[in-house]
Amino acid sequence: DGGITQSPKYLFRKEGQNVTLSCEQNLNHDAMYWYRQDPGQGLRLIYYSQIVNDFQKGDIAEGYSVSREKKESFPLTVTSAQKNPTAFYLCASSWTSGGREQFFGPGTRLTVL
């Protein structure tokens, strides 16, 4: 089955800790994205990558970091510099041509204790 997987589904972090959220896709998509969703809100773009070994900041990149060493993987690290990280994190992927429809993974719910 082709799709996007995210792990873990739920993640608890103590203040001051860095945590890494996994995102893997086997759709052979070129582009991958990370979004944050707060309760009752829309999605906000954190980082995106259109090609391996390259990525750009989105609208709310402060306190986050990413890497894109493989086409199928785009992990997100939430650092201790992110002061309010409790949220629902969604990873997506798409082609970079044609309809460029983004397909979303199941999400990771991060809670700071």
Partner 1 sequence: ELKVEQNPLFLSMQEGKNYTIYCNYSTTSDRLYWYRQDPGKSLESLFVLLSNGAVKQEGRLMASLDTKARLSTLHITAAVHDLSATYFCAVDSTQGAQKLVFGQGTRLTINP
Positions touching partner 1 (CB under 8 A) are 31, 33, 40-45, 48, 50, 56, 58, 90, 92, 94, 96, 99-107
CB of 111 to partner 1, least distance (A): 14
Residues 59 and 47: their CA atoms lie apart, in Å, by 8
Q: Which is nearer to partner 1, 37 or 80 (CB)?
A: 37
CB of 80 to partner 1, least distance (A): 27
Side by side, the strands of the sheet bearing 4-7 are 4-7, 19-25, 76-78, 64-66
